[in-house]
Structure 1
């Protein structure tokens, strides 16, 4: 298939659409809660509205903090991101009653693109278990020798449709839309980080492995 390239404007527009999609629901819930507070005198309804506002504000904040690391220029003054920060925003984004997150990684600074790839792979991992379950994130090695293994286990697990083609930059029909931009972007980051990503499924477990490409290993040894 033909590899698709997006110009800077299309890429930024689609990523902005993705981020807006993630935060519009909790922000809308905050607005609804405020409207209830303005119009209701019933104490029970006001308590419900305040609880809705608190939960939605936390959710919106978590999604924005995650997007800042996964898609944005967080820490742009340097070339590295602390894995502890990556874990924190990931737990804030995905740690809920539906999905349990386990995380095993060294406390270290990692190259920015590798961390961005890791976070994007977690996003893909959540789509592999649409009914929820457990996502285990394991990071080994350091620097160019880093490797990621993510396992997503849950009922009706599957490798998300078209994700491998999108990550390879070869979307079906040759078009990338707002629904496919996240795995497409993950593929761009993987290539920038010189990492090869592979998917496998066995039963109700999807495994995502990311390792350094042979070219990267050669460069590290030189």
Structure 2
């Protein structure tokens, strides 16, 4: 990956982060404007509730992106699974109509594995446009982290360019804010000597990864 490609990937990841934060931060701005002009006590209380919810959503997303995209400073070479679970639960809670089933059989995972798990969760959640179930499993076995995420629901929406990004088969010009996270995972898996795969049907999207540890 040359310097230009690295800069493009960084720019697209930043675009994705900004896109996802725009709505809750915009709601904060709107809430503050309404609060400044409102004199009715009941309406002011509703404005404060809007501000509280928007602030929580913004904080939840920042915590998620810190682990999913960032260096996750302060955790050493591995991350407590409880941290990954907490940010995933918050993400699913914001989405509505999605049930999370968590089945991670270890207390800690390497940072790279946590990045894959969280980004898989985001991809799976995005696919559940009419709600459904998001199942997340991971374990350390035979010196590798094995991760599987299954998104099942009445309608599965999955952009095949994301699939090509996961398999490191993006065509020139297909790197975008939508595919950047998947492309990052493909590079991470290749660097670790592991691999990613996905299976898509009308009922479910299944994402899998095997990443050697150390």
Residue-by-residue CA offset, 1:137-195 (whole Å, 9 max, x unaligned)? 01123473221121101111144321121123332344412222122122222223333
CA distance in 1, matches of 2:129, 2:100: 15
Distance 2:154 2:178 in 1: 23
Q: CA RMSD in A?
A: 2.3
Which range moved further: 4-13 or 43-52?
4-13
> For residue 190 of structure 2, what is the aligned residue in structure 1?
191
Query: Structure 1 residues 154 and 77, CA, compared in 2 at 3 Å: closer, same or farther?
Result: closer
CA contact (8 A) 2:167 2:186 kept: yes
Q: Name 1:82's counterpart in structure 2.
A: 80
For 1:61, the equivalent position in structure 2 comes to 59
The answer as to whether partners of 2:134 and 2:152 remain within 8 angstroms in 1 is yes
Deviations 1:95-153 (A, max 9, x none): 24222211111342211111111111111111222222110001123473221121101
CA separation in 2, counterparts of 1:81 and 1:93? 18
Relative to 1, partners in 2 of residues 1:35 and 1:98: Cα closer, same or farther, differing over 3 Å?
A: same
Q: Determine helix, strand or coil for the equivalent of 1:7.
A: helix
CA distance in 2 between counterparts of 1:143 and 1:53 reads: 47
Give, in angstroms, the shift of residue 10 of structure 1.
2.2
SS at match of 1:140: strand
Tell me how far apart the structure 2 counterparts of residues 29 and 171 of structure 1 sit (CA, whole Å). 35
Structure 2 runs not aligned, ≥5 long: none
Q: 100-109 vs 85-94, which deviates more?
A: 100-109
Question: Following TM superposition, by how much is the alpha carbon of 1:46 offset from its aligned partner in structure 2, in angstroms?
Answer: 1.0
Checking the alignment, whether the CA contact within 8 Å between 2:164 and 2:170 is kept in structure 1 is yes
CA 1:24–1:202 in structure 2 vs 1: closer, same or farther (change >3 Å)?
closer
Moved over 6 A (4+): none
Cα distance between partner residues in 2 of 1:175 and 1:201:
20
How do 1:64-213 residues align onto structure 2 when only pairs under 5 Å count?
A: 64-75=62-73, 78-96=76-94, 97-142=96-141, 144-212=143-211
1:18-57 per-position Cα deviation (integer Å, ceiling 9, x unaligned): 1111111101101111111110112222122111101111
Q: Give TM-score scaled by structure 2 length.
A: 0.89
Aligned positions, number? 213
**CA displacement at 1:5 relative to structure 2:** 8.1
